[in-house]
Amino acid sequence: MPSFDKNDQFHCDVRVGEGCFIWSDRPRARFFINAKVLSERLNCKNPSVADGVDGAIECCEQNRAVIEAACQRAFAEQGGDTVDLQVRHFPTA
């Protein structure tokens, strides 16, 4: 299962897609969190990267534990070195 270091940072980049991502340490994999998930499951305000990355990154940092747990579920389901987190990987509120 993927492991994360508290120093791992979230990144947002419109070239990757509308959303943010984080890399796990072991195994090395990129986990992508799209704007829909940021909004619906993490209640991020204006999660669009085009609206500014700082707010999206701050929201991810505030929800780090929830995101890391979702990464575990998604990796168990999908595996691979690039994993897209879906709404179903997050608990319902």
Stretch 17-43: mean pLDDT:
88
- pLDDT at residue 1 above 90? no
Q: Where are the alpha helices (DSSP H) in 1-93?
A: 35-40, 53-62, 64-78
Domains and CATH numbers, the chain: 11-89 (3.30.160)
What is the reported pLDDT for 33?
92
Would you state the pLDDT for residue 49? Answer: 55
Burial 63-73 (b: 16+ CB within 10 A, else e): beeebbebbbb
Query: What are the tens digits of pLDDT across the range 36-92?
Result: 888 888 888 766 655 566 778 888 999 999 999 999 999 999 999 999 999 999 987
pLDDT band of residue 5 (cuts 50, 70, 90) is confident
pLDDT of residue 3: 92
